[in-house]
């Protein structure tokens, strides 16, 4: 008798299917908390760039919130900032969440990881550790982050983590400074056996500052580099060919934000995601449960779209985001030209790939894969 085999499934596919299935239950499966606004770098692309730590929640307040999100069913929790490791009590907050059974994700620039922190992460391993990489040379790192030492501190941190077999991923942001070194970063990660990804979507600052927009690359350049990665192209084509259903058509928030996810900033303001900060609940004045229960009303708001978005056939494939529009134009319904151009560029590359290398068969493969997984049913 042949052994029973369990079909393989990428974590990304599992996570998508699981979240899609659980949306109707309105459970806060995953969240992000920004433990501090402070950062030791001054990255040109950063959408926060606010080192004012006045009013940030205390360790005791974060403990209370962690207790409450666990009570409501949270499984995954991301620690971000700013730079989380700048908080003197961050390891205490992390350890408290770890002992509550949460699957922890840590976003860091790694420049503050010393031997002590590396030992800590080896003992209390995160579910995911994602490290920002801003180049493969001192000059580029300095241009991006404003720090002449950051490049060497990052490399020392990676060595400390690898010595202790702490798994991590590398990620970057595509800017005018980093674009020439993205292939080197990818090769560097591959040489270490690490995952690597980059993001080309850069937003204005949350205070409305447009400085990050100045380092955006052209949509065509960014998408060409993005789609040269086989896994990125795979999921992009999968979305484009309709396997990711349109979510919340006709509503202001077309994505899945707030269905199973949330964001809490350093001062305790709960929102449906880190982009939509102008609608929030103050968790210093109410419980997480009370704030979470306000989300359905927020998510039921109807869209008042501009005519171009309303008539666009790519709406379900687009990066249309009221939070982004608010940061860029102070208008939830505005069309973000850069996001629109990126979406159009992605469509063009996808269609060219389909015509050029027989992606018709790939589309059929996606359909067969979806039917066979049994996770979306």
> Tens of pLDDT along 94-147?
999 999 999 999 999 999 999 999 999 999 999 999 999 999 999 999 999 999
Tell me which DSSP letter residue 338 carries. H
| pLDDT the model gives residue 248 | 57
| pLDDT the model gives residue 10 | 55
Q: Give the least confident one: 21-35, 241-255, 258-272.
A: 241-255
* Burial of residue 22, with CB atoms counted within 10 A of its CB: 0-12 exposed, 13-18 middle, 19 or more buried: middle
For residue 44, give the nearest of 133, 173, 157, 151 by alpha carbon: 173
Q: What is the pLDDT of residues 40-78, one digit of tens each?
A: 999 999 998 777 889 999 999 999 999 999 999 999 999
Say which residues have a Cβ less than 8 Å from residue 123's Cβ, sequence separation at least 6. Answer: none
Q: What is the pLDDT of residues 283-300, one digit of tens each?
A: 999 999 999 999 999 999
Tokens in use for 343? 């979406």
Q: pTM here?
A: 0.86
Q: Give the least confident one: 7-11, 161-165, 220-224.
A: 7-11
- Average pLDDT taken over every residue of the chain: 88
Q: Give the least confident one: 8-12, 195-199, 238-242, 305-309.
A: 8-12
| pLDDT the model gives residue 243 | 52
CA distance 212 to 44: 6
The sheet with strand 76-80 has its strands ordered as 196-199, 169-173, 128-132, 103-108, 76-80, 30-34, 261-264, 269-271, 281-282
Percent of the chain with pLDDT over 90: 69
| pLDDT the model gives residue 11 | 53
Tokens in use for 104? 């922890």
Report whether 185 contacts 26 (CB < 8 A). no
Report whether 145 contacts 134 (CB < 8 A). yes
Q: Tell me: cis bond preceding 82? Omega within 30 of 0 counts.
A: yes
Sketch the domain layout of the chain as residue ranges.
218-244+303-377
- SS3 string, 186-239, reads HHHHHHCCCCEEEECCCCCCCCCCCHHHHHCCCHHHHHHHHCCCHHHHHHHHHH
């Amino acid at each position: 008798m042949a052994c029973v085999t369990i079909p393989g499934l990428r974590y990304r596919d599992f996570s998508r299917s699981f979240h899609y299935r659980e949306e109707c239950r309105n459970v806060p499966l995953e969240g992000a908390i920004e433990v501090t606004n402070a950062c030791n770098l001054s990255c040109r692309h950063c959408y926060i760039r606010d080192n004012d730590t006045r009013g940030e929640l205390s360790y005791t307040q974060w403990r209370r919130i962690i207790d409450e999100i666990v009570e409501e069913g949270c499984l995954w929790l991301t620690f971000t900032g700013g730079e989380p490791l700048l908080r003197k009590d961050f390891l205490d907050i992390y350890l408290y969440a770890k002992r509550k059974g949460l699957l922890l994700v840590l976003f860091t620039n790694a420049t503050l990881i010393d031997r002590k922190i590396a030992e800590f992460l080896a003992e209390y391993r995160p579910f995911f550790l994602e490290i920002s990489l801003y180049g493969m040379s001192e000059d580029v790192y300095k241009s991006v982050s404003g720090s002449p030492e950051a490049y060497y501190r990052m490399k020392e941190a990676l060595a400390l983590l690898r010595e202790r077999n702490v798994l991590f991923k590398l990620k970057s942001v595509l800017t005018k400074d980093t674009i020439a070194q993205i292939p080197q970063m990818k090769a560097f990660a591959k040489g270490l056996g690490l995952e690597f990804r980059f993001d080309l979507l850069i937003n204005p600052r949350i205070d409305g500052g447009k400085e990050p927009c100045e380092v955006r690359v052209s949509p065509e350049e960014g998408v060409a580099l993005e789609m040269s990665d086989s896994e990125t192209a795979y999921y992009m084509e999968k979305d484009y060919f309709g396997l990711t259903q349109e979510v919340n058509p006709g509503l202001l928030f077309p994505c899945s934000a707030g269905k199973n996810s949330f964001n809490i900033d350093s001062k305790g303001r709960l929102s449906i995601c880190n982009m939509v900060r102008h609608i929030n609940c103050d968790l210093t004045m109410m419980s997480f449960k009370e704030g979470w229960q306000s989300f359905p009303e927020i998510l039921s708001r109807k869209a008042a779209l501009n005519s171009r978005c309303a008539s666009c056939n790519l709406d379900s494939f687009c990066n249309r985001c009221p939070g982004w529009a608010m940061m860029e134009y102070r208008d939830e319904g505005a069309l973000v030209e850069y996001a629109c151009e990126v979406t159009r560029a992605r469509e063009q590359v996808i269609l060219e790939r389909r015509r050029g290398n027989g992606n018709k068969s790939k589309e059929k493969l996606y359909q067969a894969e979806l039917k066979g997984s049994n996770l979306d049913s």
